[in-house]
Every structure is written in C-alpha cells, then in structure tokens.
Chains A and B, each alone.
Chain A
Amino acid sequence: MTDNKEKKPEWLKVKYNGAAVREVAEMMKGMGLNTVCREANCPNIGECFASRTATFMILGDKCTRDCRFCSVAHGLPLPPDPDEPPSVAKAVKKLGLGHAVVTMVTRDDLPDGGAGHFAAIIDEIRRVNPNITVEALISDLKGDERSIDVMLEARPDILGHNVETISRLYSSVRLGAEYERSLGVLRYAKEKRPDIYTKTGFMVGLGETDDEIMSLLRDVRKTGCDIVTIGQYLRPSEAHVPLDRYVTPEQFSKYEIQAKKLGFTGVVSSPLARSSYHAAKSFSETANN
C-alpha cells in the first residue's frame, strides 16, 4: 500500500488556472448547480474549467451510498430541485458546450432512483440547446428496468454507468452496489436501445491485478458496451480506501490496446482519465467509427 504522503509520480501533474476555475465555479454556484468536478475533487478541474467544460452533478450534493473511494458527500439528500432542469440547460448554453455530460448522485431514497428528474434535465438541455449531444452517466438505478427505460426514452447520445472496479473488490469498496447488477444495467440498455452508445469507467490502483482488469474488460464488452475509460485511483483523503499502486502511463497504454482488441470503439486510458474526461472527443471517435 502506498501512502498519501508518498511522493507523487511525475505523470500526476496537472495545470491549474485559478482565475478560470473561479469563473466557472462561481457561475455554477450562482445558478445553484453542482459539478462532479468540484464535489469529487477531480484533479482535472483546472484543465476542464479553463476550457470551459464541466460535468454537471444533479439530484443534489449528497449520495445515498458511501463508496469508499469517492469524496462526494453522503447522507440523506433533499428532494429533487424543480429549478434544476432549466438551470442546467441554461448553464450548458452559457458555457457553449457542444457535448453536455451530466451525472447524478445515487438516489436510493427515490422510487425511480431519480430517473424521471434526470430525463427532464435531458429534455430541457435539448430544448434550449437544439444541436447538442448529451451524455448521461447514471447510477445503477437499483437495477430497475422501468427506471432505465425512463432514461432510454430521454434518448441520451451516450448512456454511461461506471462499474468502478473489479468484481472481487465490490464488497469492500463499493458498498450497496453489485457487480452483476452494474453489468446488467449496461446489458439491458444496449439490448433495449442498440442505437444509444453505452459507456463505462473504472479505476485501477484499488488492489486489483492486471488479469482481473482483463477479466473486467471482457465482462463489460460482453454487454455490448461501446466506450470505456480507465484511470488511476487517487485517494481523496486518509479516510478513504488506501491506494494500492500507481500504474504507469505505459501500462495504461497496454490496457488501451487490449480494450480496443476486445472491440471497444472508444477507449480513454491514462492516469488522469475520468469517466467524463475528454468525453466529447471519445464520443465523436465512437460516432465516426
């Protein structure tokens, strides 16, 4: 296990422009919106906010689950905010996004897991921004097919659901989730609407082996999943699950080659890759494939 105080590898350097981050952060705050960039302490915030890209995190700033790798706050969230759909749509316009990425906290407290509210946001984004492409990164929605149907009927260009880690580690780091259920979400979505791209993401450095990563990639690809992102787990604080290893950029390149061999059309594999990192680029690569 490595320690947070251990020297960071040279490849984990990011650019940070305070003025750009403040501008986007204040705009979001002023509109009452959350971004996963801020709430999950994303290391790429400097790069993304400087290029006026952000990933909206809807349905509040508290998650009903408590994954041990994640720094989003957990607890009992507030009811969905009816002003959120128009605010997100307006912010998308203000930022001039061509590809909007929206994610959610898990809402096990809501009967539909928040799918109806999410769908309303997609509708409103499209109404206000007619030529936009939309990527919806959902929770497992408790595996409820009716809730997944609601999301599919909203016709996101990409429906994403992150498997986050290998099967063996679910019980220790992804409490309340099930590996097979997450695969089932991806499988169901692809079977029901083959025209909607599906996408997943996972982290390395949580204690998995490279063989287990290959097995995960095969399992995910078997669901028909089109796009995968692979990134380095970075421990948010000492209260979170310890980091097991730093994976080198060369090894990430090997994962990318292996994923492409399995048939994924979009692969983003690098230490700082996150599920929405360079999302517009991976969408256009997949759509043009």
Chain B
Amino acid sequence: MKKNIAMPALKPDMKEGILCRWNVEAGDSVSAGDVIYEVETDKVVAEIEADSSGTISDIFVEEGDAVEPGTVLAQIETDDIV
C-alpha cells in the first residue's frame, strides 16, 4: 500500500520547514521509527521518524527546499495490508 510522507506541522503556526537532509533514497527499505529525514525549524533540527515500515518509492523534495506543512515529500510502499 502506497502512502504519502508529508511535511509535519512541527508547531501549530508553522508556515514552512526546511528539509535539510534526507537519510534515505528511493528504493531503500525502512522500519517504523527509523529517522528518514531532518527538518530545520526556527528552534532546532527535528529528526523525523518513519510512521510505517516499507520501501521508499519516490522522493519529490530536495534537500534545502522550504515547504509548507502537508506538502508531500516522498512516498512509501508500506508493509501494511490495508
């Protein structure tokens, strides 16, 4: 099952976050809890963990891009059945 990986709202009024680093490439397998990318906010760098296990199928946003919360950053083919 394909799922979107979207930029989280790291704070309620977050306008955008900078995707500063990808720790995975398309084709990589990840487990839930693995840090898959990093987002820089006004305060810190947040290491974002995968919600699900699976294989990263596509990456749409490059390192250094500033994007709004909800923007689809990548897709994951998950091991989830539903």
Which of A's residues lie within 8 Å of B, judged by CB? 4, 8, 12-19, 21, 38-39, 41, 43, 45-46, 71, 234-237, 272
Please determine whether A46 and B46 come into contact, CB atoms closer than 8 angstroms: yes
List A contacts of B43 (CB < 8 A).
12, 41, 43, 234-236
Write out the residue numbers on chain B whose beta carbons fall within 8 Å of the beta carbon of A16. 8, 10, 39, 46-49
Complex CA gap A284/B18 in Å reads 39
Chain B CB within 10 A, most for which of A8, A16, A235: A16
B49's contact among A18, A39, A41, by CB below 8 Å, is which?
A: A18
Contacts A8-B45, A17-B49, A18-B48: A41 and B11 contacting too (C-beta < 8 A)? yes
Say whether B44 contacts A8, CB under 8 Å: yes
Q: How large is the interface on B (under 10, 10 to 19, 20 to 34, 35 or more residues)?
A: 10 to 19
- In the bound complex, how far is the Cα of B51 from the Cα of A39, in angstroms? 24
Q: How far is the CB of A35 from chain B (nearest CB, A)?
A: 11
A13 to B46, CA, bound (A): 6
> Is B72 positioned at the interface, with any CB of A under 8 Å from its CB?
no
Verify B49–A4 contact, CB threshold 8 A. Answer: no
A213 CB → nearest B CB, Å = 21
- Give the residue name and chain of the B residue nearest to A13 (CB): B45
- Chain B: residues with CB nearer than 8 A to chain A? 8, 10-12, 33, 35, 38-49, 51
Determine which residue in B42, B44, B47, B51 has the highest number of CB atoms from chain A within 10 A of its CB, and name it.
Answer: B44
Bound CA–CA A236/B35 (angstroms): 24
Min CB gap A63→B, angstroms? 15
CB distance from A271 to the nearest CB of B (A): 9
A77 to B12 alpha-carbon distance, docked (Å): 19
* Cβ 8 A contact of A15, one of B12, B35, B51: B35
**Complex contacts, B51 vs chain A, CB 8 Å:** 17-19
Residues of B within 8 A of A236 (CB): 42-43
Measured in the bound complex, the distance between the Cα atoms of B35 and A15 in whole Å is 8
The 10 A-B residue pairs with the shortest CB-CB distance in the complex, in nearest-first order: A234-B43, A41-B11, A16-B46, A43-B44, A12-B44, A17-B49, A19-B51, A18-B8, A13-B45, A43-B43
- CA separation between A62 and B24, bound complex, in Å? 41
Kindly state the separation between the CA atoms of A240 and B79 in the bound complex, as whole angstroms: 44
Residues on B with beta carbons closer than 8 Å to the beta carbon of A235: 42-43
Q: Shortest beta-carbon distance, A50 to chain B, in Å?
A: 9
A19 CA to B12 CA, complexed, in Å: 16
A272 partner residues in chain B, CB cutoff 8 A = 44
Q: Once bound together, how far apart are the Cα atoms of A259 and B51, in whole Å? A: 40
Q: Chain B's nearest CB lies how many Å from the CB of A45? A: 8
